[in-house]
Structure 1
Amino acid sequence: MFNAHTVIGAAEWEVWQYAQRLSTVTITERLRVLSQFLAETDVQPLHAQAVDIVRWLAGHDDDWSDSTSATYASYLSAWYKWLQIVDRRADNPMIKVGIPKVPEREPRPIADEDVPRLLATRMWGSTRVMILLALLAGLRAHEIAKVRGEDFDLTGRVLWVKGKGRKLKSVPLHPILIEVASQMPATGWWFEMRGHPSEHMHSKSVSDIVGRTMRRAGVRGTCHSLRHWYATTLLDNGNDLRVVQELLRHRSITSTQGYTRVPDQRRRDAIAGLTLVRGRRAA
């Protein structure tokens, strides 16, 4: 039976996205946003006009961040591009709406002194492993959730990670992670879903577990802040930005720059080195 709050065409779009090998998280979020648009505007996304979309986005100016608005607009853009591909719609209203530019964010790694404080906090052994994978391999929450024993090559001392775009890349193993891996299962998921041992934990569960531990330790930030610390520390240790890009597994070095923060002391030293009177070079 037809439900007035059912998004027309959503099921077909879901199948198409899976065929494109998009992640379940991405697909689920895109469909959720479409459903939210329908519920709040009472306009079928299939038939929505530019003015409907603009009014919906503007109606959330007070409760959505610029980043959230940009993300949701990009979801709608993907939806209308698909409708054009399958000849369900001739026009694309997002051309008139445009997609808000995602604001540049200053990297927010945890402080160096917070690392030992976090690791000294009482926690489950599995939580400690999650934190170490973020700090010493720079793994994202969804990558941590999918870690398996088979991903570790202890002979070659590398960890194979399937990151964004399902690309498989290797990360050199830190000695501490080699020791951790030798004590963890050699096969199967390291972080199983409770009650479903054949499935891995959800990425949100990883974020929540690590986040709660950080708050209990009095450390500000999120699970992703640990990856920011990894990147910033690599750069601060004198590694080339290109090397950091490879270790973060970024396609673009611009993305890497968004993860790394120049330490405050370096910035202060740079300013202190400015002089209004510069010596002449010898002839």
Structure 2
Amino acid sequence: MSTALATRPGTAIRPRYIPTVELDLLLRQWAIWQRAQGNGARTIHDRHNLVVRFAARTGADPVHASAQEIARGLDGPFSAGTKQTYYASLKSWFKWLQAMGLRTDNPCDLLPPPRTPRRRPKPVATGHLEALLNVRMHRRTRTMILLAAYQGLRVHEIAKIRGEDVDLVSQQLRVVGKGGLDSALPLHPIIAAEAASYPRRGFWFPTHVGNVQGSGRRRPDESLAAAPILGGSVSTIIGNAMRRAGIPGTPHSLRHWYGTELVRSGANLRVAQELLRHASLQTTAGYVQVADEETTAALLNLPRVGAVS
């Protein structure tokens, strides 16, 4: 798979790599490998797209790319989190190519991982959440917002909620999260009340135009058209509602509110980690905002020692 460089005197043209049938075949084989490792459909889909975008952005051969070409791909107006995701996906791709004997090295090993600055929690203010819920909106928009705020669900998790996931007897909510992680969360009474407006079986937020990514949660006895909307659609719906109400932040800010209010209500950070379904306690700490009055109270509670008055 080679890239032809079209140039003329005095003009530098960035080469553009066009994915070939060979690359598509390799990506399909990589997807099988990832599924065998337990990676979720969303992770596989995103990694696939990142490899294709890397080739298109840099003009590099995605099988034989050099460390310098990867550095060029990372050199752009991306957020620190995006660069980290980009790097991790490419490193996984080249690691698979090594395992398949398609190259002898992993060029990402020559590049240090992109630096990730300390993330500050960005919860919506409780007053803003109240104002948002007081705005007139469609029932499903309100339910999506409540699932984010009172169950801490990510947008792609909200999209895949089914009636069967809500157990009103055991008061639990089943959630299929990142990497296909299957969790049972305590069901908040607000969400239990919302369930009365939705079918006991099937998706709460079905699509009518088809969704290949979401078809993994379709039951064997359901039609091919039975699939949830995309997580991106949920993000757009909630985001539009927030903008119309003049509420700052993003849909994910509702999940930050969930983590922050869990801790403020008395839950310790370890409990918050379980409810947020984070692998790392450090990640959970990045969701929990500490109020100024809490830091001041902690400071004033320090014991006065000796002659200190």
Normalised by the length of structure 2, the TM-score is 0.83
Structure 1, 237-246 or 140-149: larger mean CA deviation: 237-246
- Residue 27 (structure 1) aligns with: 44
Could you tell me which of 261, 266, 278 is aligned with 2:294? 266
Offset at residue 131 of structure 1 (A): 0.7
- Residue 215 (structure 1) aligns with: 243
Given that 2:67 and 2:110 are in contact with CA atoms closer than 8 Å, whether structure 1 keeps it comes out as yes
Distance 2:138 2:257 in 1: 22
Given that 2:165 and 2:173 are in contact with CA atoms closer than 8 Å, whether structure 1 keeps it comes out as yes
Query: Taking structure 1 as reference, are residues 37 and 183 closer, same or farther at Cα in structure 2, changes over 3 Å only?
Result: closer
- Residue 192 (structure 1) aligns with: 206
Offset at residue 16 of structure 1 (A): 2.7
Unaligned runs of 5+ in 2: 4-16, 211-224
Write the letter of the residue equivalent to 1:257: A
Distance 2:98 2:179 in 1: 23
- What does the per-residue CA deviation read over 1:243-265, in whole Å, with 9 as the maximum and x for residues that have no partner? 11121122222221111111122
Q: Residue 86 of structure 2: SS of its match in structure 1?
A: helix
Offset at residue 49 of structure 1 (A): 1.2
Could you tell me which of 201, 214, 239 is aligned with 2:229? 201
Distance 1:163 1:48 in 2: 33
The answer to whether residue 271 in structure 2 is matched with residue 243 in structure 1 is: yes
The answer to whether residue 272 in structure 2 is matched with residue 232 in structure 1 is: no
- Residue 150 (structure 1) aligns with: 164
Could you tell me which of 55, 60, 71 is aligned with 1:43? 60
Distance 2:270 2:36 in 1: 33
- Percent of aligned pairs sharing the same letter: 43
- Residue 111 (structure 1) aligns with: 125
The answer to whether residue 23 in structure 2 is matched with residue 6 in structure 1 is: no
Structure 1, 147-156 or 48-57: larger mean CA deviation: 48-57
- What does the per-residue CA deviation read over 1:101-147, in whole Å, with 9 as the maximum and x for residues that have no partner? 32221010000111110101111100111111111111111110000
Q: Residue 226 of structure 2: SS of its match in structure 1?
A: strand
Distance 2:268 2:110 in 1: 42
Q: Residue 63 of structure 2: SS of its match in structure 1?
A: helix
User: RMSD in angstroms over aligned alpha carbons?
Assistant: 2.1
Query: Taking structure 1 as reference, are residues 43 and 119 closer, same or farther at Cα in structure 2, changes over 3 Å only?
Result: same
Structure 1, 31-40 or 15-24: larger mean CA deviation: 15-24
The answer to whether residue 193 in structure 2 is matched with residue 179 in structure 1 is: yes
Offset at residue 73 of structure 1 (A): 0.9
Offset at residue 274 of structure 1 (A): 6.5
Structure 1, 37-46 or 102-111: larger mean CA deviation: 37-46
Write the letter of the residue equivalent to 1:31: H
Moved over 6 A (4+): none
Distance 1:138 1:68 in 2: 22
- Residue 110 (structure 2) aligns with: 96
Unaligned runs of 5+ in 1: none
Offset at residue 166 of structure 1 (A): 1.6
Q: Residue 180 of structure 1: SS of its match in structure 2?
A: helix
Query: Taking structure 1 as reference, are residues 237 and 135 closer, same or farther at Cα in structure 2, changes over 3 Å only?
Result: same
Q: Residue 171 of structure 1: SS of its match in structure 2?
A: strand
Offset at residue 271 of structure 1 (A): 4.4
Structure 1, 215-224 or 167-176: larger mean CA deviation: 167-176
